Amino acid sequence: MTALFHVRSDCRLCRSRRLERVLPLTSIPIATPNFRIVGASKEDRAYRDAVPLSLDQCQDCGLLQITTVGNAHTQFVNYVYTTSLSLGLAAHFQRYADDVTASVKPKAGALVVEIGSNDGTLLRNFQEKRLRVQGCDPAAAIAAHATSQGIPTIAQFFGTDVARQIRAGHGPAAVVLANNVIANIDDLDDLTNGVRSLLAEDGVFIFETQYGLDVIRHNLLDTVYHEHLSYFNVRPLTLYFGGRGMEVIDVLPVSTKGGSIRVTVQKIGGPRRVADAVAKFLALEVSEGAYGPQIYARLTGRIAAIRTDLHQAITAARTTGRPIGGYGVSVGTTTLLAQFGLQDQIDMLFDDDEGKESILSGPGYDLPVLKSASVMENNPAIIVIFAWRYADAILAKQQRWLDQGGRAAVPLPDMRIVERLSFQQM
Residue 38 lies in a domain: no
How far apart are alpha carbons 316 and 319 in whole angstroms? 6
HEC assignment per residue over the chain? CCCCEEECCCCCCCCCCCEEEEEEEEEECCCCCCECCCCCCCCCHHHHCCEEEEEEEECCCCCEECCEEECHHHHHHCECCCHHHCCCHHHHHHHHHHHHHHHHCCCCCCEEEEECCCCCHHHHHHHCCCCEEEEECCCHHHHHHHHHCCCCEECCCCCHHHHHHHHHHHCCEEEEEEECCHHHCCCHHHHHHHHHHHEEEEEEEEEEEEEHHHHHHCCCHHHCCCCCCEEECHHHHHHHHHCCCEEEEEEEEECHHHCEEEEEEEECCCCCCCCHHHHHHHHHHHHCCCCCCHHHHHHHHHHHHHHHHHHHHHHHHHCCCCCEEEECCCHHHHHHHHHCCCCCCCCEEEECCCCCCCEEEECCEEEEEEEHHHHHHHCCCEEEECCHHHHHHHHHHCHHHHHCCCEEEECCCCCEEEECCEEEEC
Instruction: Give residue-wise pLDDT tens across range 122-157.
Output: 999 999 999 999 999 988 889 999 999 999 999 999
- Among 44-53, 205-214, 225-234, 400-409, the minimum mean pLDDT is found in 44-53
- Model confidence at 88, in pLDDT bands (50, 70, 90)? low
Contacts of 394 (CB under 8 A, 6+ apart): 327, 328, 352, 372, 385, 387
Residue 17 lies in a domain: no
How far apart are alpha carbons 188 and 87 in whole angstroms? 29
Q: Tell me, yes or no, whether 306 and 365 share the same domain.
A: yes
What pLDDT was estimated at residue 425?
Answer: 42
Residue at a domain's end among 263, 287, 311: 287
Q: Tell me, yes or no, whether 213 and 299 share the same domain.
A: no
Q: Tell me, yes or no, whether 262 and 344 share the same domain.
A: no
Contact 375, 385 (CB under 8 A): no
For helices 276-287 and 234-242, the axis angle rounded to 10 degrees is 130
Nearest to 359 by CA among 350, 368, 372, 347: 368
Residue 78 lies in a domain: no
Q: Tell me, yes or no, whether 232 and 102 share the same domain.
A: yes
Residue at a domain's end among 230, 257, 287: 287
Q: Tell me, yes or no, whether 126 and 219 share the same domain.
A: yes
- Model confidence at 38, in pLDDT bands (50, 70, 90)? low
Q: Tell me, yes or no, whether 386 and 342 share the same domain.
A: yes
How far apart are alpha carbons 25 and 419 in whole angstroms? 31
Instruction: Give residue-wise pLDDT tens across range 61-82.
Output: 999 999 999 887 777 666 555 5
Instruction: Give residue-wise pLDDT tens across range 340-394.
Output: 999 999 999 999 988 888 999 999 999 999 999 999 999 999 999 999 999 999 9
What pLDDT was estimated at residue 295?
Answer: 97
Cα 145 to Cα 13, 80, 126, 155, distances in angstroms: 34, 12, 18, 11
Domain range spanning residue 110? 83-287
Q: Tell me, yes or no, whether 92 and 166 share the same domain.
A: yes
Strand order in the sheet with 230-231: 19-28, 51-58, 64-65, 230-231
Residue 27 lies in a domain: no
State the Rg of the chain over Cα: 22
Q: Tell me, yes or no, whether 280 and 189 share the same domain.
A: yes
How large a percentage of the chain has pLDDT more than 90? 83
Residue at a domain's end among 287, 303, 329: 287
Q: Tell me, yes or no, whether 244 and 112 share the same domain.
A: yes
Using the predicted structure, report yes or no on whether residue 162 has a pLDDT greater than 50: yes
Q: Tell me, yes or no, whether 274 and 311 share the same domain.
A: no
Residue 70 lies in a domain: no
Q: Tell me, yes or no, whether 265 and 362 share the same domain.
A: no
Residue 300 lies in a domain: yes
Its pTM stands at: 0.91
Q: What is the number of domains present in the chain? A: 2
Instruction: Give residue-wise pLDDT tens across range 301-319.
Output: 999 999 999 999 999 999 9
Using the predicted structure, report yes or no on whether residue 4 has a pLDDT greater than 80: yes
